[in-house]
Amino acid sequence: MGWLFLAFGIVAAFGLAALLRRAALQLAPAEWRSALADMPLTAAFGLMVIAIYIFVALAAPLLAPFPEREVVGSQFQPWSLQHWLGTDRLGRDMASRLIYGARNTVGIAFATTALAFIVGSLLGLWAALRGGWLDQTLSRFVDALMAIPSLIFSLLLLTIFGTSVLTLILVIAAVDATRVYRIARSVAQGIVVMDYIEAARLRGEGSWYLIRREILPNALAPLVAEFGLRFCFVFLTISSLSFLGLGIQPPLADWGSMVRENATLITFGDITPLLPAGAIALLTVAVNFVVDWQLYRASGLKEQAG
């Protein structure tokens, strides 16, 4: 019976995504309609899921029936009309903490990914543009950092510097910036040899102008796709660290720590701990659907086939 409900939910979700895509085609500006017309149903589903997560994160205080940290009942109460998903081991409302977890987990993951991309992209583009000893020094330093497994490196740094939200963002951003650096440098190396870059150099343009006006616009498509993939990795890393007790700390609601704190319920046949894990998996799949669509558009495969 559970599998039937799951199959029905998936079919209904994709049906709703198709209706929303059709409505977007009618309401969107003319310059967006060609892209929306070619959007696969999986990408429409992914965008719908992402939009729902953003709405839940922004409207968490309005949607949650109880405050995030308030003890509202006894331990491990079952699902009821008052507590839709029961209560956790301290008596806090699970539905409310699941909703607030969208704000904390997704918001921190997005801030971390944005910081990693700002640092990694700028350094990668700059290294490719300047070349020489600067490129070699930065690249060898990044290679040394990437030789250390990212999760182990993050655990080590968090153990040394503490587990505050700011430290968590800085540590994971520093670790992931090395991956972004390699992608940005690789893409930029194919751009800096173009004639228009040489022409801009002959005009006397500086490095910042070349990065901002010449290199970045031409490297944007693969970097945007990488941003989506990197967000998934950061999102899963934060959830993994929280599950291990070194991520987002209580009393803040976080999906990774919610799985760890209530895992004992699974032995009694209660699926509540699987809900935050499912929320993590659903967002990861949705982002990957959108990234696949963007990569397909950036590759120009359809134009070549025509």
124 confidence band (pLDDT: 50, 70, 90): very high
Q: Is residue 82 domain-resident?
A: yes
Predicted pLDDT at 6: 52
Residue tagged 């498509």 (tokens)? 221
Predicted pLDDT at 1: 44
Instruction: Give the tens place of pLDDT for each residue, 28-79.
Output: 666 666 666 677 888 888 888 998 999 998 998 899 888 888 888 888 888 8
- CATH number of the domain that 192 lies in? 1.10.3720.10
**How many folded domains does the chain comprise?**
1
Q: Is residue 77 domain-resident?
A: yes
Residue 302 has pLDDT above 90, yes or no: no
State the Cα–Cα distance between residues 254 and 252, nearest whole angstrom: 6
Q: Is residue 15 domain-resident?
A: no
Predicted pLDDT at 24: 67
Q: Is residue 57 domain-resident?
A: yes
Predicted pLDDT at 299: 63
Predicted pLDDT at 178: 92
Q: Is residue 6 domain-resident?
A: no
State the Cα–Cα distance between residues 61 and 68, nearest whole angstrom: 9
Residue 139 burial by CB count (10 A; 0-12/13-18/19+): exposed, middle or buried? Answer: middle
Residue 70 burial by CB count (10 A; 0-12/13-18/19+): exposed, middle or buried? Answer: exposed
Residues 6 or more apart from 145 whose CB is under 8 A from it? 153, 175, 178
Q: Determine contact, residues 250/68, Cβ cutoff 8 Å.
A: no
Instruction: Give the tens place of pLDDT for each residue, 221-252.
Output: 788 888 888 898 888 888 888 888 888 887 88
Q: Is residue 8 domain-resident?
A: no
Contacts for 57-64: CB closer than 8 Å, 24+ residues apart: 57/102, 57/103, 57/106, 57/107, 58/103, 60/99, 60/100, 60/102, 60/103, 63/99, 64/93, 64/95, 64/96, 64/99, 64/100
Q: Determine contact, residues 99/60, Cβ cutoff 8 Å.
A: yes
Helix (H), strand (E), coil (C) string for 255-306: HHHHHHHCHHHHHHCCCCCHHHHHHHHHHHHHHHHHHHHHHHHHHCHHHHHC
Q: Determine contact, residues 257/248, Cβ cutoff 8 Å.
A: yes
State the Cα–Cα distance between residues 220 and 214, nearest whole angstrom: 11
For 51, the domain range is: 38-305
Q: Is residue 23 domain-resident?
A: no
Q: Is residue 221 domain-resident?
A: yes
Instruction: Give the tens place of pLDDT for each residue, 246-296.
Output: 888 878 888 888 888 888 888 777 788 888 888 888 888 898 888 888 777
Higher pLDDT, 298 or 92: 92
Instruction: Give the tens place of pLDDT for each residue, 156-177.
Output: 888 888 878 899 999 999 999 9
For residue 71, the cross-strand partners are: 92
State the Cα–Cα distance between residues 101 and 115, nearest whole angstrom: 21
